[in-house]
Amino acid sequence: MKIKTILTHILWFFCAVSILYGLSRLYYLSGDGFAVMHITSDLSPEDRWTTRPLTDPENSTVERLLNGKFFYLGKGCQSYVFESEDGKYVMKFFKYQRLKEKIWPGFLSRFSFIDHYLQKRNAHKKQKREGVFLAWKLAFDFLSKETGTVYVHLNKSDNLKKNVTIIDKLGIQHSLWIDQYEFMIQKKAVMLCDEIAKNMSCGEIKTAEILLQKLVQRILSEYKSGFADNDHALIQNTGVWEGEPIHIDVGQFVREESVKEESFYLQELYTKTYKFRIWLRQEYPELCDRFEEYLSDTMGDCFK
């Protein structure tokens, strides 16, 4: 009888643990995995992450936005995204649960192969985080028009002095002392394909053509200035703000002299627009013909 009682207690214990784990996973998934601790870091300020000063219009915009609330919009590979009250801007926070260096118990790190693996993983995470930091800084310092970036805050500070309210997917409100967080404020754009679909449904073919020409011109201008977006997912990462194409995801921008070479950037332009042209051909064949004519005129023999 005693053994049966013990087994019953053990069974109830595992059932309780399973239920608690299931509930925690349900909460995690229903909230898209967001938690304040996942956007919180222990990073110290570094001079290399200091961004350019805000212009007066940018400062006014940032001041106004930080006085309002932000509502959960979604998540990407690198960040959680919240929408401003007016629906015109987004605030992005780093997903640190993917980038934080892990510390294992000391007795495990005594094994050389485990210690080597841990060091390698942590070095990769640090490199990835610094790559995104650099990309965000480049986007704001040099490409704010091309990326719609209004503000980038990569160093903890003491000048903002605001509690910013964010509301997560579950409707839970969180108050953040925003000086202590790394974040970006960016214009909220309409996805490129959605904008083209809207133009075409309204019979605004010329507007769509001009938008596509601006897209090509912007990509070429970036390369000629020594900047490149290493993410080739043009459809997923391009939006439109007030008739201008902008980059939505700026996490893979780099600055290199080699991208100024014509042979390089023309090949990149061809590659970047390839899947987009397939979509355009399926949805709007005549518009695709005009777009490809423009690419051919721009790229010459490289477009074949």
Per-residue pLDDT at 4: 64
Q: Which of 191, 291, 206, 207 is nearest to 247 (CA)?
A: 191
Cα separation, 200 vs 13, whole angstroms: 61
Contacts of 223 (CB under 8 A, 6+ apart): 259, 260, 264, 265, 268, 269
pLDDT at residue 24 in the model = 47
What are the residues facing 246 on neighbouring strands?
Answer: 239
The pLDDT value recorded for residue 258 is 92
Helical packing angle, 205-224 and 192-201, nearest 10°:
150
In 112-137, which positions are buried (b, 16+ CB within 10 angstroms) versus exposed (e)? Answer: eeeeeebeeeeeebeeebebbbbbbb
Question: What is the predicted pLDDT for the residue at 272?
Answer: 92
What's residue 135's pLDDT?
A: 95
The closest of 130, 246, 96 to 186, measured between CA atoms, is: 246
Phi, psi of 148 (to 5 degrees): 65, 20
User: Where would I find the H helices in the chain?
Assistant: 2-30, 56-66, 106-109, 112-142, 144-147, 192-201, 205-224, 234-237, 262-283, 285-299
Q: What integer pLDDT is reported at residue 104 of this predicted model?
A: 53
Q: Which among 128, 105, 111, 101 has a CA at the least distance from the CA of 42?
A: 101
For CA atoms 93, 97, 98, 101, the dihedral sign is positive
Packing angle, helices 262-283 and 205-224, rounded to 10: 160
Whole-angstrom distance, CA of residue 146 vs CA of residue 134: 16
Mean pLDDT, 10 residues at a time, the chain of 304 residues: 61 57 48 87 93 94 96 91 96 83 55 65 80 94 95 95 96 96 96 96 95 94 93 91 93 92 91 94 95 89 68
